[in-house]
Structure 1
Amino acid sequence: MKINWNLFKVLSLLLAIVGLYGFADHRSKTKNVENISVQFLGENNLFLTEEAVNKMLIQKFGSLKNTPKEQVVLDTIEMTIANSPMVKNAQVYLSVEGELISKIVQRKPIGRIEGISKFYLDDMGKRMPLSKYHSARVPIITGKITGKSLEDAYVILNFVMGDDFLRKNVIGIHIEDEDKYQLKFRLENFVVNLGGIENLEGKFKNFMAFYVKATKDDTLNDYVAVSLEFENQVVCTKI
C-alpha cells in the first residue's frame, strides 16, 4: 500500500499544533493573576481614581492578585465596576501574561444642581453624584428644581455645550419657573431671560446678533439683561 507522505506530514503538523494549543491553554488557565491594571479612557478621568477602583474590587472580591485565572469571573467584575455611579461603561479582560485589565469610561457632567440636593446632570440627562476627588467646572443650576425643569435644563445645556461661544460664557441657569429660564453669563450682572426651551436656535441667533453689535459699539457693559422671550425680538435692559 502506497503511503501518502504529504498527507501524513499535514496530519502530523495539525496534531502538533492542536497539542501545543491545548498545552498553552491549560497553562494559561492554571496561571495566576500577576498584576491588576486600571485604565481610564477619554478625557473625563477625574471623578474616580485607580485607588478607588482597586478598593472597590477588594471589598467585593478580596485580593484578586495571585488568584488562579480560571477562578476569575470577568463578567461579575465588569458589572461591579460598571455599577459605580461615576462609571459610564467598563470592559474587563485578562491578558495572556496574567494581567487583569479594567478599561473604564467615566460619566461626563454638563451641569451642577445647587439646591436642597446637590448633584451633577450628566451628558445623558441623568443625575450623577458629586465626587470627592474632583469638582467639575460646569454651569450651576439653581431655582425651582423639578423633574420637568431638569429635563428642560438638560435641553438648554446640550445646546450650550454644542456652541463654542456659549460653552465658554454661560456659567449658570436659574429656573424661575417651568418654561421660564434665565442664563447667567461671565459678564458681571449680565443675564439672558430665555423664556421656555422652544426655538432655542432662533433665540440664540438673535442674541448673537445683539451681542456682536453691542461689542462692536462698545456698549455691552451698559446692559444688565437681555430678554429672548418674545418671538423674533431682543429686548434689552440697561443699567
Structure 2
Amino acid sequence: MNKKIIRFLVIVIGVIVIVAAANITMRNLVVSKVIIEINYRSSDHIIVRKDIERLIVSRFGNIDRKKRKEIDVEEIEKYLGSQNMIETANVFLTLTGKLYIKIEQNIPLLRIYCVDGKEFYIDYNAEVCNTRKGRAANVLVVNGDFEEKLEAGKVIDSTREPVTYNVYKIARNLASREILANQIDQIYYSKKDGFELLPKVGDYVISLGGMNDLDKKLNKLVYLYKDGFMKYGWDEYSHIDLQFKNQAICTKK
C-alpha cells in the first residue's frame, strides 16, 4: 500500500480517536458551576436569578455537580425560552465545566388593570406577561373599561383584543416621542369617551378619544409641551382636548 495512503489513514483514524475521546470526556464532564446572567436591557428587574434557579429545579432537579450526559442543555434552553417574561435563553457548557445560562428579559411597555381584577404587563412585542409580587416596573399604568380576557404568554391581536391592542399602539407611540414618554404617566379608557392620558406632573386630563389621526393628535401634544406649556405653564388648565382637527382645545380651571 502506498505510504501516503497509509499516512492519511493513520491521520484519519487518529482524528476519529481524538474526537471520540473528546466526546466521552465532555459527556462525563461534571458541572462545576452554574452561572446565570440576565440582560435587562435598561429595563426594571422583574425576573431575578432565584426565579431562574426555581424554574430549573422544578423541571430538571438540581443540575449542579451532574455530568454533562445527564443534562439536556438544549431542553433547558427550550424550556427557559418558553417561560413568561423571558424573551430569549442561551444555555451552554464550557470545557471547564461551567454551565452558562444567559437570559434576556422581556421589556415591559405598560401595566394594564382589567375589570376582572387581573393585571398584566404588555411588552414591546405585544406579549402579555405576568406581574411579579414585590417587583414593579416603572411603566405606563393603564386602566378603565378593559373587559377583554388576557392570558400570559399570548401576543395581543387587533381582532381578538381590539381595545387592548389600541392601548398598546398608543403606548408605543408615546414611547417613541421622548417628551411624551417623560410626561405621560397613565392611560385611561372608557367606552363612552375613548382614551385619555394623565400626566406625571399637573392636574389635568388629555382627551385622545378614538384612534383616528393618532399621530396628528400626539404631534399636537408634543407641540404643546415644547412651546405652549413652556411659555404659559400647565397649572392653570384642567382639560386638553386633541380630538379637533388642527387644534388643541385647552380649558382653564
Asked whether the equivalents of residues 202 and 234 of structure 2 are also in contact (C-alpha less than 8 Å), the reply is: no
User: Is 1:214 aligned to residue 215 of structure 2?
Assistant: no
Q: Which residue of 1 aligns with 2:61?
A: 62
Instruction: Say which SS state the counterpart of residue 26 (structure 2) adopts.
Output: helix
Instruction: Give the structure 2 partner of residue 139 of structure 1.
Output: 140
- Match of residue 38 from structure 1: 36
Hey, what's the Cα distance between the residues in 1 that align with 2:132 and 2:230?
Answer: 42
1:217/1:50 CA distance change after superposition, 3 Å? closer
Partners of 1:106 and 1:167 lie apart in 2 by 21
Contact 1:192 1:228 in 2 (8 A): yes
Q: Distance in 2 between matches of 1:197 and 1:72?
A: 51
Structure 2 distance, partners of 1:86, 1:217, is: 43
> What residue in structure 2 maps to residue 121 of structure 1?
122
Q: What is the aligned-residue identity percentage?
A: 20
Deviation at 1:120, TM superposition (A): 1.5
| Residues 215 and 73 of structure 1, relative CA distance in 2, 3 Å threshold | same
Query: In the aligned structure 2, how far is the partner of 1:11 from the partner of 1:94?
Result: 32
**Cα distance change on mapping 1:130 and 1:227 into 2, 3 Å:** same
Task: Supply the distance in 1 between the matched residues of 2:112 and 2:247 (Cα, whole angstroms).
Answer: 30
Q: In 2, distance between residues paired with 1:124 and 1:84? A: 15
1:110 aligns with 2:103: no
Q: Which residue of 1 aligns with 2:152?
A: none
User: Partner of 2:158 in structure 1?
Assistant: none
How far apart are the structure 1 equivalents of 2:147 and 2:169?
Answer: 14
Mapping of residues 92-103 of structure 1, within 5 Å: 92-103=91-102
Bigger radius of gyration: 1
Question: How far, CA to CA, are the matches of 1:195 and 1:110 in structure 2?
Answer: 21
Deviation at 1:4, TM superposition (A): 5.2
Write out aligned runs for 1:15-34 (5 A).
15-34=13-32
Q: Does the 8 Å CA contact 2:113/2:146 hold for their aligned counterparts?
A: no
Query: Structure 1: how far apart are the matches of 2:76 and 2:99?
Result: 10
Cα drift, residue 202 of structure 1: 1.1
Partner residue, 1:50 = 49
Residue 235 of structure 1 corresponds to: 249
Q: CA deviation at 1:111?
A: 0.9
Give the counterpart letter for 1:27 in structure 2.
Answer: T
Distance change (3 Å), C-alpha of 1:42 and 1:6 = farther
Q: Is residue 203 of structure 1 aligned with residue 217 of structure 2?
A: yes
Given that residues 112 and 139 in structure 1 are in contact (C-alpha distance below 8 angstroms), is that contact kept between their aligned partners in structure 2? Answer: yes
CA contact (8 A) 2:242 2:249 kept: yes
Amino acid at match of 1:199: D
Report the CA distance shift for 1:10/1:36 in structure 2 as closer, same or farther (over 3 A): same
Trace 1:152-231 onto structure 2 (pairs within 5 A).
152-177=166-191, 180-231=194-245
TM-score under structure 2 length normalisation: 0.84
Residue type at the aligned position of 2:179: F
List 4+ stretches of structure 1 deviating above 6 A: none
Q: What amino acid maps onto 2:90 in structure 1?
A: Q
**Most deviating of 127-136 and 161-170:** 127-136
| Deviation at residue 238 of structure 1 after TM alignment | 0.8
Say which SS state the counterpart of residue 221 (structure 1) adopts. Answer: coil
